[in-house]
Amino acid sequence: MANGVMAEKKAPARGEERANGRARGIDRVIALMEHLHRLRTPTRIADIARDTGTPRSTVYELVNTLVEARWLELRDDDGTVYFGPAMHYYGSDYLDSVDLIRKARVEVAHLAEMSGETSQFCMLEGDKYLVVLNEPGRRMFRISSEIGIKVPIPWTASGRLLVDHLKPDEILSFIPDEDFLLPDGRRIARDEFLHDIGQARENGYVRTTALVDRFTTCLAAPVRDASRQCIATICFVIPADTGEAEQKSMIDLLIASAEKLSVPR
């Protein structure tokens, strides 16, 4: 295998499995795009075929079609493909069409510019947390964006705000058990997690340190809808050794921005 890509799941087409291997082109394409998004790197066609369980001849056929439409681009001359400009155009149309996100973009950009630190706008999708907007700061100590990548709720500061409308037992049944296990093997205690959530609601913000990454602190503030439910968060991702005074003033910035995005009380 010339590329370090591992088969992830031998994705079974999409939706329901079909008895024989045959699938619609559109379902193959959806699987292909999801696969590229998971890998987040230009990928060779043969690897796509293997890892998505799509016949090789079919992938070649579809990739040709998609490259022509600029949904995909051939990269580097090393026979890899990745997303093309059309995805950016359609994605921009989406961002502009959603009121809250359009406003959040201004806030996130402003926060990142003001502070020089990475600022994000996050929401839930199902029982997972994900980054919707990411504005790298001047420091930019994390290069690869994680936009649209699902992450377990307990791994994140924002997650502690996004479930704060649920009762403790609802929270624990909402979040899958395995999501309390951090990537480094540590396990987040359920009662501590619930305690954090109560604390966060009281404070109007949340801070976590060294959760996913040993040297990173996250600061987050809640964006609330008319019913005071937290529908999104806005946050900073900063080095853990940032001074307390600086952190305090960043929290104030966050709360002000979050307030602007929230439906007025």
Partner DNA sequence: GAATGTTGTCCGAAATATCGGACTTGCCGT
Partner DNA sequence: ACGGCAAGTCCGATATTTCGGACAACATTC
Nearest distance, CB of residue 62 and DNA, angstroms = 7
Stretch that binds DNA, among 49-57, 114-122, 161-169, 238-246 (CB under 7 A): 49-57
Closest CA relative to residue 120, chosen from 80, 157, 77, 79: 157
Q: What is the DSSP annotation of 36-79?
A: HHHHTS-EEHHHHHHHHT--HHHHHHHHHHHHHTTSEEEETTTT
Residue number, 21 or 116, with CB nearest to DNA? 21
DSSP, collapsed to helix, strand or coil, labels residue 79 as coil
DSSP, collapsed to helix, strand or coil, labels residue 224 as strand
Q: Give all strands (DSSP E) within 49-93, no chain letters.
A: 72-75, 80-83
Total of residues contacting a copy of itself (CB under 8 A): 53
Stretch that binds DNA, among 51-59, 117-125, 131-139, 159-167 (CB under 7 A): 51-59
Rounded-to-integer distance, Cα 106 and Cα 103, Å:
6
Binding of a copy of itself by 116 (CB under 8 A) = no
Residue 187 DSSP label:
B
- Window 3-32: residues binding DNA (CB under 7 A): 18-26, 28
Binding of a copy of itself by 206 (CB under 8 A) = no
CB 46 within 8 A of CB 60: no
Contact with a copy of itself (CB under 8 A) among 7, 26, 189, 263: 26
Task: Let me know if 259 is exposed, middle or buried by CB neighbors in 10 A (0-12, 13-18, 19+).
Answer: middle
Summarize as ranges the residues that interact with DNA (CB under 7 A).
1-2, 18-26, 28, 44-47, 54-58, 60-62, 64, 79
Summarize as ranges the residues that interact with a copy of itself (CB under 8 A).
14-15, 24-27, 29-30, 33-34, 36-37, 40-42, 62, 65-66, 68-69, 71, 73, 75, 82-97, 106, 109-110, 112-113, 125, 132, 134-136, 144-145, 147-148
